[in-house]
Amino acid sequence: MTCKGAAPYGQTLPGVSMDFSDLMSRTLLLDLETTRTGRITHWGAQLNQESRLKKEGAGSKAGLQELDEFARDADFVLGHNLLGHDFPILKTVSPWLKVLNKPVIDTLYLSPIAFPENPYHRLVKNYKLVRSSVNNPLEDARLAASVFKDQYESFRSLAQKNPHLTDFYRFCFDQSQFNGFSGQALSMVFAGMAPAALHTTVDALDCFLAQTDGVVCSNWTKETVPGLLSNPEKRPVLAYCMAWLRVAGGNSVLPPWVKHQFAEIPGIIQILRERSCGDPACDYCRANHNAEEHLRRIFGYLSFREKPKTIQGASLQKAIVEDWMTFIWTTRAALQAPIPSMNTWRSWKPGSLFLCTRTIRK
């Protein structure tokens, strides 16, 4: 698959190195320990080989000044859920901190893209890291770095196989904002791995259509996606949609925190995959939403029985199957869980759907 608007390979965002070690040498690892009320009790940070673990007075003005001074030479800040937890707390307590202006590499926000397929990553459970110690923010900061190393390798592998998809992720996070903080560093991670081929929303739409060919309805995509691509605050939604669509139908679900943070994602996926456009020329909808197509493919019958009929005069048998198809797709949209292929319908045990398929085969 290719996308329009290709640029010469080798272009990267200025200041972003492809070398992982070089990137990490410029990156502050950071984690906070807080109470439920948002009081900072500990913080841990590491830059290169130097580390700090602050306990006494960690949340005081002096303690946070120490953190700010320690972070002075860092170009980036890396941690797990910094954009959703640590940075908002720091801003509430001390909005004057210079570290808050540094680009953030958040491993939580990268995880669903790096590891979209269950069992995801061994060190990430929902939105939290799987800790090896309790109340040790320095170890948690290092753990986040370990997660990022695996994410980095995943993205590098993806860039070699599918540079256009990698660039799509770069485009989605470009100029993004999360809780008032810039997500530009997330974009820069991808920019350092693939050429910048997407420059406009038209380029990005063409890429989305190419990458999701056969996975979504192209007509609904053309209706739904352009508005999201034109809004930098909404583009990340499409990055997570794309990541999930890559493994749709397998053993994968959207992480709960993604559905909470980006509540519109299930609705977008439902429109793209679970709503028929009604166009006979649409290969996706004809293959997934046409009851007679499934009847021919699975059972070998050309059409449903004409009798008995519905009140409207249509085939009752066809109406029952279409209602069940709608029910299954709609239920799956709510759960975002894998849906059985149509080939497995015949093996489902007692229930209305099983009886329905038995009726078809008689």
Do 117 and 25 contact (CB within 8 A), yes or no?
no
Half-sphere exposure of 222 (CA within 13 A, CB side): 8
Quickly tell me which residue has 């306990």 as its tokens. Answer: 55
pLDDT on residue 182: 94
The rounded radius of gyration (Å) of the Cα atoms in the chain is 24
Q: Where are the beta strands (DSSP E) in the chain?
A: 27-34, 40-47, 50-54, 76-79, 104-106, 124-125, 128-129, 177-178, 181-182
Across 95-104, 228-237, 328-337, least confident range:
328-337
CA distance 75 to 15: 10
331: pLDDT strictly greater than 70: no
Q: What's the pLDDT tens digit per position in 109-146?
A: 999 999 988 656 666 766 677 766 677 999 999 999 99
Beta strand 40-47 pairing with 27-34: antiparallel
Q: What's the pLDDT tens digit per position in 137-157?
A: 999 999 999 999 999 999 999
Q: What's the pLDDT tens digit per position in 13-43?
A: 443 445 899 999 999 999 999 999 999 999 9
285: pLDDT strictly greater than 80: yes
Q: Which of 183, 144, 118 is nearest to 32 (CA)?
A: 144
| pTM of the shown model | 0.79
Six token digits for residue 223: 């209706």
Do 77 and 102 contact (CB within 8 A), yes or no?
yes
C-alpha separations of 256 from 48, 92, 259, 262, 263 in Å: 34, 26, 5, 10, 10
Position 251 confidence tier, pLDDT thresholds 50, 70, 90: low
SS3 234: coil
Q: What's the pLDDT tens digit per position in 191-240?
A: 989 999 999 999 999 999 999 999 999 999 999 999 999 999 999 999 99
Q: Which of 146, 194, 186, 140 is nearest to 167 (CA)?
A: 194
pLDDT on residue 314: 81
Average pLDDT, the chain: 83
CA distance 157 to 193: 10
C-alpha separations of 171 from 113, 185, 198 in Å: 14, 12, 7
CA distance 351 to 20: 54
pLDDT on residue 307: 82
pLDDT on residue 217: 95
CA distance 353 to 164: 41
C-alpha separations of 107 from 3, 21, 248, 299, 314 in Å: 28, 17, 23, 47, 53
